[in-house]
Chains A and B, each alone.
Chain A
Amino acid sequence: MTNTVGILGFQGCIEPHQRMLSAIGAESCLVKSPEDLSRISRLIIPGGESTTMLRFIKRYEMLEPLRRFARTSPVWGICAGAILSAREVHNPEQDSLGIMDIAAHRNFYGSQLDSFTTQLTINGLTQPMESQFIRAPLLSPLAATAGRPEPTVESSLPGQPVFISQGNLWASSFHVELGSSSALHERFLAL
């Protein structure tokens, strides 16, 4: 069984993940086709533009293969990736993979002018993580679809969940790959 981490490779903040994974000794490769999914054990859907990525996912007929992959393997959607993972997308409404029972409200924190960095306390991590919110979506848990575990809020800002897990699936509205700590990547590798 491969232990390679796939990074959805159509667009977005890809290289910082590659660097961070390589620094902790993990193999990674870009995923741009359904066949690529057979070469990986887990997948990161990086930040970027969810509309652009969605267009590629549809064009390369990856909606179903990605949904199947997520039934058995860990997937971490970050910012745009979290939007793609969500069952419901608002502002505007948009198709998605729907692999997690969460809602994503796009650009909730405003434009670039309202982007910010904070030290975030995350369940299971002893140290706060440097986290960047860049045109971030608002995430909220929904009732679990039959057969899935309940979504769990792993970290929040006052009143606003920012990191939700559901089984082996993660959605974070913030970025950690732009900081210096690989703690969350290490935890993802342990799933």
Chain B
Amino acid sequence: MSTHSNTPSNSSDPIARSTGNSFDMKVGLARMLCNGVIMDVIDVEQARVAEDCGAIAVMALERVPSDIRRDGGVARMSDPKMIEEIKAAVSIPVMAKVRIGHIAEAQILEAIGIDFIDESEVLTPADPHLHVDKHPYKTPFVCGATNLGEALRRIHEGAAMIRTKGEAGTGNIIEAVRHLREVRRGIDELRALTDEQMTEKAAEYRIPLELLKQVRTLGRLPVPNFAAGGVATPADAALCRQLGAESVFVGSGIFKAESPTKLGKAIVEATCFYNDPKKLLEVSRGLGKAMPGLEIGRIEPQALLANRGW
């Protein structure tokens, strides 16, 4: 799959190194991104603002989810040129999105040397049955999930990070909360299951029993679990952290708001001090208008992005 060959090991190297696509390595980078904010940016200028606000990574894409939702049509991987320009402009990791199941887009992003690939329901799915088999890639993947079964299918396929799908581009946090709670409920439920019921549950989730047992033992997902989809305020970020999200993606929320820099910084602070109400109060004051929001019930069911993915 990958032709990347910058592998430091050779015969003159006395130390054996295992490089690239070991699953643990990919989860390792995901762990470095914990306790932080990943911001959607559409150009170099926004990427610099995001870095200055204290983002731990940026997601480079041509249109933020709320614009994709408004424009309709097919949403695809961004132009590699703009991704490369953003990569050159910032020192923090850069992520980019591929369509669900689009292995060629994923290969292109890996060839760029992107730090993380988001196989995202925000773009129009490319495969009606399968997600990308993520194991052969050296680049780590993040995937969205609405419940435990979906999260574990993605991890079994090789995702090194899980995020809630939420409902991207709505500025409405309810779906992200639903998904965080669903994953938690699914994990808690495992404790009460007999061996036979565990086997049935693994079959229901379409994953190996071993992975399900691992989750039961750990009491959490074996990879970091982030929140995404609908985060629009510092309080939204703190809510997600309190519900167990280890970091927060903010898509349309920052650059569709009245004062992106102020809001971006405030969301970074709130993500760090999520359990400190006084600090949350301090950072929430006077931020200007948040992005316009959408009620989920007013969205046609076929337009719900969270339903994409299998």
* Interface residues of A, Cβ cutoff 8 Å to B: 9-16, 32, 47-49, 51-52, 55-56, 79-80, 91-92, 106-107, 109-120, 132, 134-135, 157-158, 175, 178
B13-21, B67-75, B142-150, B298-306: which lies at the A interface?
B13-21
Give B159 Cβ to nearest chain A Cβ, in Å: 15
Q: Do A114 and B272 have beta carbons less than 8 Å apart?
A: no
Residue contacts A-B, CB under 8 angstroms, 8 given:
A11-B35, A48-B36, A51-B54, A51-B91, A111-B114, A116-B20, A117-B24, A119-B16
Consensus secondary structure, chain B interface: loop
What's the minimum C-beta distance from B11 to chain A, rounded to whole angstroms?
Answer: 12
Give the shortest distance, in Å, between A119 (CB) and chain B (any CB).
7
If A48-B56, A111-B115, A116-B20 are given as contacts, then 9 extra A-B residue pairs at C-beta distance below 8 Å, sorted by A number, are A13-B32, A51-B51, A52-B55, A52-B56, A110-B113, A112-B139, A114-B19, A117-B25, A134-B29
A126 shortest CB reach to chain B, Å: 17
Q: Which B residue sits closest to A177, measured CB to CB?
A: B31
Q: Is the CB of B35 within 8 A of A12?
A: yes
**Which single member of A52, A113, A116 contacts B139 (CB below 8 Å)?**
A113
Q: Are the C-beta atoms of A113 and B25 separated by less than 8 Å?
A: no
Inter-chain CA distance A15–B34, complex, in Å, is: 9
Task: Say yes or no: is B191 at the interface (Cβ < 8 Å to chain A).
Answer: no
Size of the B side of the interface (Cβ < 8 Å), in residues, is 44
**A interface majority secondary structure:** loop
Q: Are A116 and B17 in contact (CB under 8 A)?
A: yes
Q: How far is the CA of A115 from the CA of B28 in the complex (A)?
A: 9
CA distance A49 to B6 in the complex (A): 23
- Kindly report which residue of chain B lies nearest to residue A110, judged by CB atoms: B6
Contacts of A56 in B (CB 8 A): 54, 272
- On chain B, the residues within 8 Å of A80 by CB distance are 32
If A113-B138, A116-B20 touch, whether A14 touches B35 (CB-CB below 8 Å) is yes
CA distance A11 to B27 in the complex (A): 16
Which of A15, A106, A158 contacts B91, CB < 8 Å? A106
Bound: A132/B29 CA distance, A? 10
B113 contacts across to A, CB distance below 8 A = 110-111, 113
8 Å CB contact of B28 from A10, A92, A158, A175: A175
- B222 contacts the other chain (CB 8 A): no
The CA-CA distance from A52 to B28 in the complex, in Å, is 18
Complex Cα–Cα for A110 and B26 (A): 14
Instruction: Contacts A112-B116, A157-B15 given; indicate if A117 touches B22 (C-beta within 8 A).
Output: yes
B31 vs chain A, min Cβ distance (A): 5
Nearest CB on A from B222, distance (A)? 12
Cβ of B49 under 8 Å from chain A? no
Q: Enumerate B32-48 residues with CB–CB distance to A below 8 Å.
A: 32-36
Contact A118 B6 (CB under 8 A): no
Chain A contacts for B33, CB-based, 8 A: 48-49
Chain B contacts of A49 at CB under 8 A? Answer: 32-33, 36, 56-57, 92-93
Check B91–A112 contact: CB distance below 8 A. no
Residues on the A chain within 8 Å of B27, using CB: 178
